[in-house]
Structure 1
Amino acid sequence: YFKGHWYLSYINSAAPTGVCRVSKLELLEDGSVHKKTYGYKEVGGVTEFEETHCNGTLGSDKAKVKLQCHYLKNSEAKNYEMDGTVLDTDYDNFSVYYICANRGGENLGDHFLVASRHKGEEPTDSRVAETLKKHGHFLDKFVSRKNVECKDHPDFK
């Protein structure tokens, strides 16, 4: 799971362009995880590209990860912690993921995310909706990438 690209397809709450995210993950030989996420926001008709770089360690069950993150947008930089849990995945096509972020003990928010390995494709596996339902969420209430024309981040490779 923790290697390769994941394209965000759905998020439980966000502005329309909040779903325009792609993550590149690496599982290093020492068992640590490196995650880069690229996205943007539209603010007053201006596109503001942003990047988040995270490093962390996998839990013993290989489904949970604790990350130290560094967020960059324009000249703004912020550090925060993020706990992530893979709720379900087939590794090749879809993942359902839960994240909770905090800084200095302050909860910055939590999200349920659905991602695809393939840009522009939305996962169709029935386990996506089933997993979300177990956690009190319904896919048809999520912000969907299919309703947004996402821009490519200039630094994503």
Structure 2
Amino acid sequence: MNPQPGDAVPPLERTISLTDMVAYAGATWDWHKMHYDPDFVKARRLPAPVVDGQVFGALLVEQLQDWLGPECFVQKLAFTFKALVFAGETVRCEGTVVEAHGDRVVVRQRVVVVDADGKELRSAAEPASATVLLGAADGPGAAR
């Protein structure tokens, strides 16, 4: 694959269930009740448990690896939270290549909440920027 500036990254769409959120909490040891306890969040006038914001980082990296393959290495990822996302909502990761130099690609990404028809409801995380090294699954300096 030879990404070029302007290339669209294939979108990744995912509905984040409460089960997904509990599994993520277990993997990251983030057991704050706002991420899994419907009664806790209801008492705070929220419609459902809140998706841990770091899930967006995992999804953005998954989008890049799905597109560029398992040999890519995400060297840098940064994003800004824009709005809460709740259990049961669907998010879509979108991206565009902004730079491509040899084995280094820079991608501008975003995460949006979408309805059942795929219509954007609100931004969840943007801007996001990722620097990816191609063919470097073991990280910078890996033997090739």
More helix by share: 2
Normalised to the residue count of structure 1, the TM-score between the two structures is 0.29
More strand by share: 1
**Structure with the greater relative contact order (CA < 8 A, sep ≥ 6): 1 or 2?**
2
Task: Please tell me whether Structure 1 or Structure 2 has the larger radius of gyration of its CA atoms.
Answer: 2
